[in-house]
Copies of this chain bind each other. A is one copy, B any other.
């Protein structure tokens, strides 16, 4: 069994203003960025703080989150930010790392301004990039690569979640 609570602390936050995106790392954690330069992508773990409500964290299924998907889906089968532990994962392209200021400038991240960030990891192709991957038929028409997602009409896909 695994019932003990775990405490995590934000190490910084998202800035998303005027089409500019970054992770602002709190001063105490800035030495941890050393060596991140040269990685073209990072994996950002962020906390969906708006959904950190006891009743929301008890939701296990949602009604047809995707237009072409099943009528009902379990939360672990979606990337919805509404989850028992609302930790979201976003791969994000790195524009620049400013070690002194503690700022990772990103091409884009799908998180709101002020969102707490829990962790930053380099995107390792050997860990994160799967060559042969398959998905259920209902979402087989989704883009096959991160880079092609921006062009895709996501508005037509989402009903009750993202």
Contact = CB atoms under 8 A, between A and B. Distances in A.
Interface string A105-147: 0000000000011111111111111111111110000111111
Given A35-B70, A76-B120, A6 B129 contact: no
A160 interface: no
A53 to B, nearest CB: 13
Interface in A81-101: 83-85, 87, 89-91
Contacts of A122: 76-79, 135
A119 B31 contact: no
A5 interface: yes
Interface residues of A, number: 82
Contacts of A21: none
Q: How many copies of the polypeptide does the oligomer hold?
A: 2
A128 to B, nearest CB: 6
Contacts of A79: 121-122, 124, 127
B118 A144 contact: no
27 contacts: A2-B10, A2-B11, A5-B7, A8-B8, A9-B85, A29-B60, A31-B74, A32-B61, A34-B72, A35-B70, A35-B74, A35-B77, A35-B136, A36-B76, A38-B136, A39-B77, A76-B120, A79-B121, A89-B128, A91-B127, A125-B130, A126-B145, A127-B146, A129-B130, A130-B145, A131-B145, A131-B147
